[in-house]
A = this chain, B = another copy of it.
Amino acid sequence: MGHEQEPEARGSWVSYRPDIKILDCTIRDGGLVCDHHFSDEFVRAVYEADVEAGVDYMECGYKASKKIYPPSQYGPWKHCDEDDMRRVVGDNPTDLKLSVMADAERTDYKEDILPADESVFDTVRVAAYIHQIPIAMDMMIDAHEKGYEVLMQLMAVSVVSDKDLREGLDVLVQSPASAIYIVDSFGALYSEQVRGLTQVYMETVEGTGKDVGFHGHNNQQLAYANTIEALILGANRVDATMNGIGRGAGNCPLELLIGFLKNPKFRLRPVLKCIQDHVVPLKQDMEWGPKIPYNITGQLNCHPRLAIGMRSGDSPDDYVAFYDQMIEEG
C-alpha cells in the first residue's frame, strides 16, 4: 500500500479527541476463556471500575441461544438474562452504557432480546462474518426497532477480499448501526493493513453519521499498536479489556489504551486497581496473552483455535511441533 496516497492523521499522540469512545469487553471476550463463568463479584468489580474510569460502554456478555449453549454448561454472561444483570448493576443509574453481543446464527434474537424499555441494556452489538450480513441486517433492524443503540462487528476482516468488503460495507451502511467495527479476529493484521482498512471504512461511512470502530486481538502483540493506528486515521470507537484478558492471545489492554489517549474523561487508576485486585488473581486458573502458538496462527492469518487447543493439551510448549503442523496444514 506504500504507493497509494497517504491518508491524513486525525491527531497526534499529544492531542486528544473528545469523540473517542471506549468499549470494555472484559466480560464478553474474557468470558470466552472460562465459558462465561465469572462470579457476580468479578462482574461488579469491572462494572464499578468502568464507571469510575469514564469508560463509555461495558460489553457484559452474549445473548447466546440457550438451545445451542445450554445454561447448565455456561455461566450467566453467555446469556445475559435481565435478572442476572440487574443482580449486579441494579438499574445501572450511571453514564456507562451496557452492551450485549448478539452472534449471527447463534442468537434467538426475536425472543431473547426484550424491548429496550424493559431491559437494563442500552446497546446491542451484532457480530457476523461477511456471509452472514443478511442475517446481521435483520438482527440490527430488530434491535433498533426494539429501541436499542446498535453496533456492528464485521468479523475476520483479514480473510475478506477487498471487493467483498466494499460490497458488504455498502450494505451495512444502510443498517441502523451507529458504528461499524473493523475486527481483526485472527490477530493477523499489520499496521499498514489497518491503515488501509480504516481508510476504506471511513470513506464508506462518510456522510452517514456512523462511526468506525476497531477491535484487535493480540496474537502478534499488535492489538494495542493497531488500535492506535486505527485511531490516528479516524476510527473513534475502540475496544479493550482489562489486562488484555480474552480468548487465546487476548485483546488490546485497556490500561495501555487509556494511558495513550490522555483524554481527561478517562482515568487509569480505577482500571489498575481492578486489575490488581480482580483480574491478576484469575491467572491462577486461566491463561491469556500473546504466546508463540498464537504468533504462528496470527502470522498465518488463521483462527487461533488450534493454538488454544495446543496450549491446553499435553505439550503446551512444543512450539516446533506446532509450527511443523501448521505449515504442513497450510
CA–CA, A202 to B275, complex, Å?
Answer: 41
Kindly list chain B residues whose C-beta atoms are within 8 Å of the C-beta of A9: 1-3, 192
Interface presence of A273 (CB below 8 A): yes
Kindly list chain B residues whose C-beta atoms are within 8 Å of the C-beta of A295: 253, 255-256, 259
Kindly list chain B residues whose C-beta atoms are within 8 Å of the C-beta of A259: 220, 295-296, 299
CB distance from A192 to the nearest CB of B (A): 6
Question: Which of B6, B191, B296, B320 lies in contact with A229, CB distance below 8 A?
Answer: B191
CB distance from A214 to the nearest CB of B (A): 14
Interface presence of A319 (CB below 8 A): yes
| Contact status B221-A12, CB under 8 Å | no
A260, A280, A295 — most chain B CB neighbours (10 Å): A295
| Contact status A292-B275, CB under 8 Å | yes
User: In the complex, which residues 214-245 of chain A have their Cβ closer than 8 Å to any Cβ of chain B?
Assistant: 218, 220-226, 228-229, 232, 243
Question: Which of B11, B226, B255 lies in contact with A292, CB distance below 8 A?
Answer: B255
A260, A269, A272, A299 — most chain B CB neighbours (10 Å): A272
Kindly list chain B residues whose C-beta atoms are within 8 Å of the C-beta of A12: 1-2, 192
The 3 residue pairs across chains A and B that have the minimum distance between CB atoms: A2-B9, A225-B225, A6-B6
CA–CA, A229 to B194, complex, Å?
Answer: 13
Kindly list chain B residues whose C-beta atoms are within 8 Å of the C-beta of A317: 276, 280
Question: Which of B224, B226, B292, B323 lies in contact with A220, CB distance below 8 A?
Answer: B224
20 A-B pairs besides A273-B319, A273-B320 with CB distance below 8 A are A2-B8, A2-B232, A3-B8, A6-B6, A9-B192, A12-B192, A191-B191, A222-B225, A225-B225, A243-B292, A253-B295, A255-B295, A256-B295, A259-B295, A259-B299, A260-B299, A268-B323, A269-B324, A275-B292, A276-B320
Interface residues, chain A, with chain B CB atoms under 8 Å away: 1-3, 6, 8-13, 190-193, 218, 220-226, 228-229, 232, 243, 253, 255-256, 259-260, 268-269, 272-273, 275-276, 280, 292, 295-296, 299, 317-320, 323-324
Kindly list chain B residues whose C-beta atoms are within 8 Å of the C-beta of A256: 220-221, 295
Q: In the complex this chain forms, how many copies of it are found?
A: 2
Kindly list chain B residues whose C-beta atoms are within 8 Å of the C-beta of A2: 8-12, 232
Kindly list chain B residues whose C-beta atoms are within 8 Å of the C-beta of A225: 191, 221-222, 224-226
CA–CA, A254 to B295, complex, Å?
Answer: 11
CB distance from A53 to the nearest CB of B (A): 13
| Contact status A272-B10, CB under 8 Å | no
CA–CA, A6 to B9, complex, Å?
Answer: 10
Question: Which of B190, B276, B292, B324 lies in contact with A228, CB distance below 8 A?
Answer: B190
